[in-house]
Amino acid sequence: MTDPLAALGQAGVSIWLDDLSRERLISGSLADLIANQRVVGVTTNPSIFAKAITDGSTYDSQLRDLAARGVDTAEALRALTTRDVRWACDVLRGVYDITRGVDGRVSIEVDPRLAHDTDATIAEARALWWAIDRPNLLIKIPAARQGLPAITTCLSEGISINITLIFSLTRYEQVIAAFFDGLERARQARFDLSTIASVASFFVSRVDTEIDARLDKLDTPEARNLRGKTAIANARLAHQRYEQMLSSLRWQSLAAAGARPQRPLWASTSAKDPAYSDTRYVVDLVAPGVINTMPEATLRAVADHGDVPGDSIHDHYQDSAEVLARDEALGMNLKEALQKLEDDGLTNFDCAWNHLAKRLTSTLRERPDKVPDTPNYLSA
């Protein structure tokens, strides 16, 4: 097939964009990607919002209004981000309707500074769910240990959840258990399970960045041979866990009650090492029913020169397990490395959110008439 993005769709992969900004909404860029580049969903995170809000002037009008009202920084952050996500949900509503809720989803993350506080995470997820009030919304909750009971509680209340920052197979198994627990409680509460969606965001390229650095320190032929193999092997084995989930008696009982499966979502799909193909974390993770969320540069690269196979996962479970075993044989402590990646991910999101909060605090303290006046896009 000459259209690699169409080939992904034919293979059963949903393409989601890992980016959102007010400028993208105003300009029609998101609508164009939906119409012409087969994008059927959007993910965001604190780093994406920090860049969007601090770059350019598209938020100035709303910032002026927030400053005039004297709101605090937390309320301002929520107002800015929920506006964008609500708008994006509306742009994708047609996709949501056509696919009957399979795609057309937009994700927003709870304040990452709450990741180690289960009750606060639940309260924040409820607040975002109520504030945005769109059926195609997904609330992102990190898969840190304290996030697992929050995931269960939110799902049990009918809130659709994107579980993010999953790096290890052990954590993924815990995420699946939290998903089952939440849906079983929702069923007991007589929720319509078909209205509850969930995806499990399994991070990919960052794994190679971490493990490759450790392999490079060994500087042996075997270590060099393993460079760039761990992330894809880890993700393929996560997909094997997903298939095991679908074959379990717990899932079959929930599916009979109308539940939707928790789909695997490949995140962190841009190649960080310039020696690697810029499409590898897309074309090497193709299977029916998965989602690949890409920054626009990766999306464009796949569209331009991606070589998309019909399936690049199912025949690789055994060799993927062998890759991880070879890592361990060389002294790679995968458990420790993947936990470090989870901790670093939370820290990075914390830093982005704190940086943005600091910038907003300074702006909101200024007199309202000092905030530049720009066209009001809030009614768009």
140 catalytic? Reply is yes
Q: How far is the C-alpha of 38 from the C-alpha of 48, rounded, in Å? A: 21
Residue 346: both structure tokens together: 């939370």
Question: Which among 140, 229, 272, 370 is annotated as catalytic?
Answer: 140
Strands 198-203 and 161-166: parallel
Q: How far is the C-alpha of 51 from the C-alpha of 48, rounded, in Å? A: 5
Spatial contact of 82 and 379, defined as CB atoms under 8 Å apart: no
The continuous run of DSSP H or E covering 109 comes out as strand 105-109
Burial class (CB in 10 A: 0-12, 13-18, 19+), 133: exposed
Angle at 298 between CA 292 and CA 299, to 5 degrees: 65
Q: How far is the C-alpha of 197 from the C-alpha of 195, rounded, in Å? A: 6
Residue 174: both structure tokens together: 């815990």
Q: φ and ψ at 151, to 5 degrees?
A: -60, -45
Residue 307: both structure tokens together: 């070589």
Residues pairing with 140 in the sheet:
109, 162
Query: DSSP string covering 305-321, please?
Result: H----S-SSGGGHHHHH
The continuous run of DSSP H or E covering 260 comes out as none
Active site residues: 140
